[in-house]
């Protein structure tokens, strides 16, 4: 299955938030617990819909979606943070691995 974002939506692949020990025990770090309490997700941008970041002041409307996103400070492959309920989950192979979110729901780009 291949998926692409439409309109002003962004396709994001969710980052795993569980850490498992060598023995198979799931470990929740303090950072993971804090992130769950804040209600934020992190993920990698996979695709921008064709209308992403259109209509924002200071953004060149003549650029394609990736060019407009780059002007806004985001690009494909960036690790971004967004709200837990910012969009819709997409299942692949029985797992919630992807999310479609509106462009304005991206809270920030994270350093790795």
The fraction of the chain above a pLDDT of 90, given in percent, is: 49
Structure-token pair, residue 99: 């999310």
Q: For residue 41, what pLDDT is reported?
A: 83
> Average of pLDDT values for 29-55?
77
pLDDT band at 32 (very low <50, low <70, confident <90, very high): low
Q: For the chain, what are the domain ranges?
A: 9-109
Q: For residue 111, what pLDDT is reported?
A: 86
Which residues are bridge partners to 92 per DSSP? 95
Report field, pTM of the whole predicted structure over 0.85 = no
3 vs 68, more confident: 68
Q: For residue 92, what pLDDT is reported?
A: 75
Contacts of residue 45, defined as CB under 8 A and 6 or more positions apart, other chains included, come to 10, 11, 12, 74, 75, 76, 77, 78, 80
Domain 9-109 has CATH 3.40.190: no
């Amino acid at each position: 299955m291949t998926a692409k974002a439409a309109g002003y939506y962004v396709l994001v692949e969710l980052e795993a938030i569980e850490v498992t020990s060598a023995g198979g025990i799931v470990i929740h770090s303090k950072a993971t617990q804090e992130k769950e309490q804040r209600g934020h997700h992190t993920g990698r941008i996979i695709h921008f819909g064709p209308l992403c970041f259109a209509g924002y002041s200071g953004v060149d409307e003549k650029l394609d979606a990736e060019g407009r996103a780059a002007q806004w400070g985001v690009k494909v492959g960036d690790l971004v943070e967004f709200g837990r309920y910012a969009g819709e989950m997409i299942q692949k192979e029985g797992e919630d691995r992807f999310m479609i979110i509106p462009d304005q729901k991206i809270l920030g780009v994270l350093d790795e």
